[in-house]
A and B are shown apart, each in its own frame.
Chain A
């Protein structure tokens, strides 16, 4: 765990300063990895001007639109955001959203945020951030958690609330601060401290204190591994790569592609959802800082981070620990139109799936993609933009191989034929989690906004978003763990016409 962090840092320009900080925080790394893969998120976008494909509107269901969305720059953990608290980042994203959309505060009915590693002081981080960002104190807010698809869960919860007619305007977002994670006293120490609280007499207190042992002081770090299987996510990813026979060069090549495309998108100013963030006491951050296109030769030098010495997953082909926050404004279509907005996309369908948390932890997208396509009545060819969360190169490539295999479809998914490969020229063309970073709780909104902005820029109609996440809370039955979700987003001609 530590090593992956260290490696990541070595590749940074400003190594020395951070290297120490990095290596002392193995726990954060672990949690990142744990949460990274698992859930799966998809969406479709229907672009206005292009081909007249059918609309995905459903009778008797309200149309839900994304008006716009923003994110603060995603930074390697331990860099500029390191002294902040999670709600500070979330607040910045919320303020930025208010600024970008000029939505009147009192119009917002509800706020939902996703997060994974919770800061205990702000367990409902959505509410703390909303209050600080100047939203009305009459606007309720709640926080959701679902590993790496927490922001997706925040958005789909919002979609559900709007579609069912409860609300018209919802803000959804996500935040993660891996620069600081809760490290607890040991259970024994906690127990003694709580008992001390209840002790009434000096005698009782002294007898409790006399039971103190030095080992009570050893801290409890956030879990290094998937709770149900005890396996770290990196180890799991390495096994997945082995299972699908994905070589190290293939993985490095894919990671390099992600970084190169992200660099290009950043240079060309395509990442328009990024808003500047003036960090208190520090300079204004304007750009993601994890994008670092290297060379295959450089990458080949890294040692495997998890399964040593024969593994193939390295620091360079994994997503890194990231701080960041994002937020989107979701509305009922008629409300948005009435308020004079020109929405960016419809949010159409979504699907969550879950599988065995051990061997299929990272295969969510392979399972969810055919499902969501079926639900929307589309095929792979109809989709114009794919945005998949990249936890590990090996994980993305394994999902590709699974999607392209009839054998896998028949033996594991109970389907007759494979769903097929997403065309690479439509896939994560502005970079992905490997290069842009992956603040667990915030990645979902980034994926949706990237997909929406790409449709708009490239003139597509449908986009599909997918992510995988760690098991944990979705385990209703004991054999399931990892879950996936997808949802569709489309932009209709009608909106364009009305608004133009």
Chain B
């Protein structure tokens, strides 16, 4: 709202494109003495144009915080008061960033929604003053500008010149903006923009109340469908817009600041802010820089995972060998990488030339040629221990001493794989999630023997591939698979109890999971699910029981492997958007039917049976030291398994929902089903002392 209102006042540029370049050191400006007194906003005068430079200290981006706002207000007041100044430009001294948005820490520090409302109103007042300014104000923007900054767009970026390109780009932008501001002040350039036909028609149509009502309705419907009512903000935004249009801008502004205050205090807001912080944390390499940077990567197995890993590696400039055992398998993998890149060309994210040059980083082969230069080998062969042992031995015969051997497995313990290694300190687990180019998470698994440098190297490669990384200790199922398995077991039991697979899907998505529980089994692959369930069942015994493994076994024997085989719980057809239930499953489900227990089978109970088993297992991972921090646990669950983001992850959920309530639920289900629901000690501790939290911010 604030943003859109201000458009009228801030004339904007259009132009080409931006260059973002990390690590650029901001230059210092020289100018009037006023410069030295302020830290965030300063200005100098060029002729009769004031150049207002925004530069938050010690940060890569500018964020709207209290200091910036108050300094900006001071500066603008001086500008409005000065007789010499006829126009002003606003420019950021950060390359590629104008103002990133509100300072999250400032919002998090607020205790009440009144405080937040006040912050919002101050911002509104400022924008209003800018809007009513008698002196033309030009925002010169290069790069990202979100939230409160969302007004104007500029772009030009220059190549190498007599100064670093980023520096010159900002300077150039300033030159253009100053010329523009002078033009506005001299009335040589008109700030009014001609409305296009579509724009005129739109504004005409919006003038008709009936049309407006229909639009509100439609928008609300769509938002509800997408958010399932779990995210309050989009609906409130619609309310605010509605208030603004129907009752005038004063009411609109007031509604905006009120709702802003309310929203920032919600659990959802806290959960999402928590995820933001967790993500920032998981984008850093806390193991330091590895001794040797990985420049040559080799991947074994050109299957879905292998090719996916190859794709995210080559497009970051890593020279990558993709090796498979057969030409057909290799060809399929190469095609997958090419298709992934080509899809980006279709979306205009890459040019065809860039695609080709990225693709040239990939070498497909059937032998071990070139492995003597590899700095890291990631194996992504079938999940079979003896096969993994064989390739490990083959690879160790050809790779150099410093080369890291990483295993992409979702459940096989790394120490078992490393058992046949000559150099177990160089063996590590790198668990990617499918589809690799879309899923952000990478779970890195260290054994007791894995060296710190090996871990640092794996994290560095993962970060280069653009992943959010959690580092966990070795054990059956590591962290992510281990949390998922009991939930999956519960899914099977619920289905056996006669709940319709479609209904189960809608119960889970309405709880906030992006993919329904039944569909998830199909997506993961029934054979994989069976494999994991068997392995982890052996390792953890009773706690992982629930549904009958027989169901999965029968599905596998009938070839219902899920999406990849075209049939699972659902039938998958190329080009079909809506999917139908696989009617052949009826007999299997009927033969394994168990009677439901009425007191724990309400819709809500079904949701909580799934979630509490997940959460309980996650907390147990922290208790056992598989997880180093709760934050990593939350990031892993949300980014790898689709745990509802609005809940912030299992640990944040315990904090916000209350450990006691979760333990109560677990006890209730424990009474019905037994040990599978016994709350772990750490969770019980949290329930017993309400001051205990996983997060203290």
Interface positions of A (Cβ within 8 A of B): 227-230, 235, 239-240, 242-245, 307, 310, 358-360, 363, 398, 401-402, 405, 407-408, 411-412, 478
Contact = CB atoms under 8 A, between A and B. Distances in A.
B326 interface: no
A358 B159 contact: yes
B364 interface: no
Contacts of A411: 160
A407 B162 CA distance: 7
Contact of B158 (A229, A239, A478): A239
8 contacts: A229-B353, A243-B158, A243-B168, A310-B156, A359-B165, A401-B162, A407-B162, A407-B163
B351 A245 contact: no
Given A239-B156, A478-B357, A245 B16 contact: no
B176 interface: yes
Contact of B15 (A229, A243, A310, A408): A310
Interface in B1-41: 13, 15-16
Contacts of B180: 310
A245 B160 contact: no
Given A242-B156, A245-B162, 14 more contacts: A229-B351, A229-B353, A230-B351, A242-B158, A243-B172, A245-B171, A307-B16, A310-B15, A310-B176, A358-B159, A359-B159, A360-B159, A398-B161, A401-B162
Interface residues of B, number: 23
B270 to A, nearest CB: 44
Contacts of A310: 13, 15, 156, 176, 179-180
B432 to A, nearest CB: 27
Interface string B374-414: 00000000000000000000000000000000000000000
A307 B172 CA distance: 14
Give the top 8 A-B pairs by smallest Cβ distance, nearest first: A359-B159, A243-B161, A243-B158, A478-B357, A228-B353, A244-B161, A242-B158, A310-B176
Contacts of A405: 162
Interface of B: 13, 15-16, 156-163, 165, 168, 171-172, 175-176, 179-180, 351, 353, 357, 360
B190 to A, nearest CB: 13
Given A245-B168, A307-B15, A478-B360, A359 B160 contact: yes
A417 to B, nearest CB: 15
A230 B352 CA distance: 9
A404 to B, nearest CB: 9
Contacts of A229: 351, 353
Contacts of A412: 160
Given A230-B351, A478-B357, A245 B15 contact: no
Nearest to A401: B162
Contacts of B159: 239-240, 243, 358-360
A344 B180 CA distance: 54
A464 to B, nearest CB: 23
B162 A408 contact: yes
B316 to A, nearest CB: 15
A235 B162 CA distance: 19
B235 to A, nearest CB: 41
Contacts of B16: 235, 239, 307
Contacts of A227: 353
Contact of B160 (A230, A235, A243, A307): A243
Given A307-B16, A307-B156, A245 B161 contact: yes
A398 B159 CA distance: 11
Nearest to B176: A310
Contacts of B165: 243, 359
Contacts of B15: 307, 310
A358 B158 CA distance: 10
B279 to A, nearest CB: 32
Contacts of B157: 239
Contacts of A307: 15-16, 156
Nearest to B164: A411
B345 to A, nearest CB: 11
Contacts of A360: 159-160
**Best-surrounded residue of B15, B161, B171, B357 (most CB of chain A within 10 A):** B161
A496 B576 CA distance: 84
Nearest to A404: B162
B318 to A, nearest CB: 15
A398 to B, nearest CB: 8
Nearest to B358: A478
A398 B180 CA distance: 24
A166 to B, nearest CB: 35
**Best-surrounded residue of A235, A245, A360, A411 (most CB of chain B within 10 A):** A245
Nearest to A225: B351
Nearest to B351: A230
B361 to A, nearest CB: 9
A373 B302 CA distance: 52
A239 B158 CA distance: 5
Contacts of A363: 160
Nearest to B179: A310
A401 B351 CA distance: 31
Given A407-B163, A408-B162, A242 B353 contact: no
Nearest to B155: A307
B160 A408 contact: yes
Nearest to A239: B158
**Best-surrounded residue of B160, B171, B176, B179 (most CB of chain A within 10 A):** B160
B250 to A, nearest CB: 37
A479 to B, nearest CB: 8
**Best-surrounded residue of A230, A307, A310 (most CB of chain B within 10 A):** A310
A278 B16 CA distance: 47
Contacts of B160: 243, 359-360, 363, 408, 411-412
A412 B16 CA distance: 24
